[in-house]
Chain A
Amino acid sequence: MKATKSIFILVNLIFMLFMFLTACGTTPEDTDTAERGADEEVDEPTGDPQYGGTIVLGTSGEPVIFNALYHQDSASADVTDLIFAGLTYTDESLEVQPHIAKDNAEISDDGLEWTFELQEGVLFHDGEELTAHDVVFTYNIFLHEDYTGPRAGSFTSLESVEAVDDYTVKFTLREPDARFHTLTGYSILPEHILGDVPIGDLEDYNEFNIENPIGAGPFKFENWDPGQSLSLVAHEDYFEGRPYLDGVTFRFASDSNALVLLLETGDIDHMIAPTSELVAIETYEHVNLSSTLALRYDYIGWNLQNPLFEDVRVRQALTHAIDRQEITETVLEGQAEVAHAPVSPLSWAYNEDVARFDYDPDRALELLSEAGWEPGEDGILEKDGEKFSFTILSNDGNTTRRDIGIIVQQYLGQIGIEVKPEQMEWGAFLDKINPPNYDFDAIVLAWGLALDPDPSAIWHSKEIENGLNNISYRNDRIDEISDINTTIIDQDERAELLGEAWAILAEEQPYTFLYYPNQFVALNRDVQGFTHHPRVDMYKVNEWWLNR
């Protein structure tokens, strides 16, 4: 009897603990602050910029290597963007602007010779001056046959690079290449340090790449404590003027949950905020949220090797049957725009004038019936005794894609198409959907877009066998446009041609283009001078300052 009583008390205690814990999760003022937080966005800078202070950036990815010629991950890019400087950079409206170069490239009439004048007095962190010879040294690494990094493919059109004098550098191309603009921003490496290292050994030259990278960027590498933090300090002689901040520290955490906690406790001042965490972040008094359209689009890809999706009318019907506006409003809480073509509205090559397949289930049924699909006895569409039934696959851990799968199941279920949403671990998922397996019916996925809008990598039919065209899309005109668009240097002319490609792809619906999402940065209120770039996380950090 006594025993049962004490157990009873214990159970009660535990129950109370639960109540307490759940109470901590949601506080009543959640909704108010949420709205306030969203309106304010980034504050106007208060007063003049002031020098001093160190900012802590929270990140879940740990960098690998501080050498832009070899890294493939965004965590490394974030660090190298601060340590190094390039000839040009891409501004927040995605225009290429001169950086170390005095002006944008002077391009010869045949489009083959690109000449840059360099600013004088640009200093590396060790005090040596950056000259045209360092630029030549850096770009020659890409051209070297022993180069082991992942970027050689980008430079196939570059024939040679030479220093005309100490402050003039000339690139000579084999054929006109409009993409070359976006390739002129690579970090310039110091020849006086790396000149003697054989190119084949450069990737593993950790004395520079990991332990002591030297660049001409606004911040100097100081210390890296693997798994914990990485600190950079201001480069006093930075050619655009000393950064306001004394230093920048990256703090590594395991995942976005941990980062949000660190943000809440004030341990970090900055993080890239995932959409799923916005509700929590909006409640923090000391944090501002900044948002901008991301340079990417999310889509449902239809495997064109599957007879179900062969008919263009069927694909159009599928898009008609899915209310994408509703998806952006519910799953993404309004933080996205519906997409109609594989190009971002941020791009100069964007074409607004493309076919749109808005939500219209009746039209969807009409199109399906034209294509020979009629409801069977159980209400599911049939054609030649075959049922319209397929699996929609995405990667697990991504709740947005999971929810989209379920919503698509409901929408298509309403017009008599049977959909089974499934999720898989990321690595296994990629293996399954990519060549040589192509083992999927439909996928929910996204493309983070390159700065240059060239459609070749994703849409050219030569990319089916071993590239990124894993849905096996084939269209002769798209192949043609992919082949010739990069040879057109004039941007307006090129935009017109690309516009035709987007119109074809929008009409053919090899993907159901879902939406262009917003991306968010959570910033401590004390951080001023922040500019939100759609693609670069560490953008103009030398202009940030702390109001503390």
Chain B
Amino acid sequence: MTTYIIRRLIMMIPILIGISILSFAIMYAAPGKPTVLNLDPDISVEDRERQMERLGLNDPAHIQYLRWMGNVLQGDLGNSFTRKQPVTQLIMDRLPNTIILMVVSTFLAVIIAIPFGVLSATRQYSKLDYGVTFTSFIGLATPNFWLGLMLIMVFSVQLGWTPVGGVSTLGSEFNLLDRIHHIILPAFVLATADMAGLTRYTRSSMLEVINQDYIRTARAKGFRERTVVYKHGLRNGLIPIITIFGLMLPTFIGGSVVVETLFSWPGIGKLFIDATFERDYPVIMAITMFAAVLTVIGNLIADILYAIMDPRIEY
């Protein structure tokens, strides 16, 4: 197992280098240059040229890439073009907010989706099953931004139950209730799409397991139905879910771009979208690589959890 993990970690290196070359190339090929964004008649052509030179934008693309790579290997992600701060600091300022949002929404997705998936499988073709199925499809089909806007309209503007956006009340000291108050809507919106998917996966996976011979054996032995379903069924049914779960990890970054923008949530998703419009290369690269690392690690975690959940799987 240890050697397997080490082997996998080593394999990550070429993968990540490949991703970095690809994303740099795509980013560089996209039209638009960073400082050109300022069409200010007050700023002279010479001043703009000097800025290009200072940011190293006049060098050929491969030189820019190698310089970036060299700095990254020394632990330096560079300075943001537009924000004039180290990228590491920009990300560290915002990452905790994104992680909190991810954790809460994942938690919401899991505690809602898995029980409903199981119920819907054990009571196949019941009213409840149809209800859950129908709601999941609605959840899958509803765009995040639309749902978010509607929830803001209803709960924040009309009813005034939740704040319109932000992480906490302005100028207040840390307060857990206040934080929960602020996170509940964005976390719910971020969770919906995954919740719907997870419910569906759990349902089909459980259905398959429930019809297996060993479940019939367990029932024949006279175990209580709860024990049969949750101890013998769920444990086996969850294996494929875990893979999906590991693969879901990076999609949170994608989802957070939309949700963070909607709810003015100061996380890296918001930073990423701003950086993209500003063609802020160092920030774009840093966050892309962060998502890449998350994807690769998510995969690895899924594989490891696999082995833990199912002792028959060996590496």
Contact = CB atoms under 8 A, between A and B. Distances in A.
B84 A204 contact: yes
Interface residues of B, number: 67
Nearest to A424: B31
Interface stretch (A89-97, A122-130, A225-233, A401-409): A225-233
Interface stretch (B62-70, B158-166, B230-238, B300-308): B158-166
A14 B142 CA distance: 12
A265 B171 contact: no
Contacts of A72: 38, 40, 43
| Best-buried of A6, A7, A150, A426 by chain B (most CB within 10 Å) | A150
Contacts of B31: 427-428, 431-432
B266 interface: yes
Given A10-B134, A21-B153, A231 B167 contact: no
Contact of A450 (B42, B93, B131, B157): B42
Interface stretch (A163-171, A251-259, A300-308, A331-339): A251-259
Contacts of A463: 45
Interface stretch (A106-114, A151-159, A191-199, A309-317): A151-159
Contact of A14 (B138, B157, B277): B138
B127 interface: yes
A229 B170 contact: yes
Nearest to B268: A227
A368 to B, nearest CB: 32
Given A430-B39, A466-B45, A6 B138 contact: no
Interface in A377-429: 425-429
A252 to B, nearest CB: 7
A228 to B, nearest CB: 5
Nearest to B84: A65
Contact of A70 (B36, B84, B170, B266): B84
A295 B28 CA distance: 35
A265 B30 contact: no
B47 A254 contact: no
Given A7-B130, A227-B94, A449-B41, A153 B46 contact: yes
A434 interface: yes
Nearest to A267: B164
Interface residues of A, number: 65
A265 B90 CA distance: 30
Contacts of B278: 427
Given A150-B48, A151-B47, A153-B43, A3 B36 contact: no
A204 B79 contact: yes
A279 interface: no
Contacts of A468: 39, 41
A444 interface: no
B6 interface: no
Contacts of A21: 150, 153-154
A428 B32 contact: yes
Contact of A265 (B54, B154, B160, B267): B160
Interface string A225-248: 111110100000000000000000
Contact of B84 (A64, A258, A430, A434): A64
B37 A427 contact: yes
A149 B46 CA distance: 11
B266 to A, nearest CB: 2
A154 B279 contact: no
A253 B94 contact: no
Given A154-B44, A227-B97, A431 B153 contact: no
B134 A261 contact: no
A449 to B, nearest CB: 7
| Best-buried of B31, B93, B152 by chain A (most CB within 10 Å) | B31
A51 interface: no
Given A24-B153, A254-B261, A427-B36, 16 more contacts: A56-B170, A150-B48, A153-B44, A153-B46, A209-B84, A210-B84, A227-B97, A228-B170, A252-B264, A258-B164, A258-B262, A261-B156, A265-B156, A449-B41, A457-B41, A463-B45
Interface of B: 30-33, 36-51, 54, 79, 82-85, 90, 93-94, 97, 125, 127, 130-131, 134-135, 138, 149-150, 152-154, 156-158, 160, 163-168, 170-171, 260-264, 266-267, 270-271, 274, 277-279
27 contacts: A3-B127, A6-B131, A7-B130, A14-B138, A24-B157, A70-B84, A148-B50, A148-B54, A149-B47, A150-B51, A152-B50, A153-B46, A153-B47, A209-B84, A227-B271, A229-B170, A254-B264, A425-B32, A427-B30, A427-B278, A428-B30, A430-B32, A431-B31, A458-B41, A466-B45, A466-B49, A467-B45
